[in-house]
Amino acid sequence: MLVLRLLNVVAPAYFLCISLVTFVLQIFVFIPSMFRDPSTTPLLSPALLHGALFLFLSANALGNYVLVIQSSPKDLGKDLNLGKGAEVADWLDGSRSPGSALPSTHFCRLCARVTQRHDHHCFFTGNCIGSKNMRNFIMFCLYTSLACLDSLVAGMAYISATLSMSFADPLAFLTLLPHSISQFFSGDLLSSEMFVILMLYLWLGIGLACAGFCCHQMLLILRGQTRYQVRKGMVVRTRPWRENLQEVFGKKWLLGLLIPVLNVESNYRRQKEK
């Protein structure tokens, strides 16, 4: 438990550090290197478009990250009748008090609260993911993966121009790291260039992980399930996939794709609670 609590503090700091490094490299290294002659740069140059795209992706990723933390799932432990002699810390699912427990509720020992439609505890946000912040969490994963992909492409273009190498061969990226390490220790590669190369692989790993997690989460949403329900083997009531999507994203889902906004409960959820 002590290790998990330490990870719950270190992981958000690690994510914010990676985000800051990515922002500095993009704004002060990659984008300026795209301007050949600033005096003759057209208004809609590729460099300006890339900068605008990166700022859009970063703002959505960071905005949804803040909203995931801000819109914490409500603690239902005080409102639930857990039964005589039962403690919240001992109540892990609805099997202890089936007459009063809400479906798919779970007590998180790290957050010390009972959350409705508990999915999992995210260490990178230091918060539980439930019915209130699921939409923002999906958008956070989506835009983080896109921002990492954008940084990966910009970083490869920068390394290609700096080291005069081509990535036309698919194996060039796979062999880039071992060749760079040997050149770095032989003194033929600068520390700044080696740092950018290491960031390329870090962006690739984070981008693929976030994209895979986002796709898996969307599949569970379409089925009307949560990760906690799948892990516990709980049987859920079959519903149309459109209702499952509407329950998470609401009717104004398009607005949430463009800008980070708080999750607004859908009419379906309100009727269910009534």
Look at phi and psi of residue 104 and say left if phi exceeds 0, alpha if psi is from -120 to 50, else beta.
Answer: left
Partners of 7 in the beta sheet? none
Q: Which of 266, 226, 231 is nearest to 104 (CA)?
A: 226
Q: What is the dihedral of CA 215, 60, 63, 252, to 10 degrees?
A: -70
Structure tokens at 176: 């880039």
Distance CA 92, CA 133 (A): 21
* Per annotation, catalytic residue among 108, 122, 128, 210: 122
Distance CA 254, CA 78 (A): 35
- The question of whether 108 is a catalytic residue gets the answer no
Active centre residues (catalytic) = 122
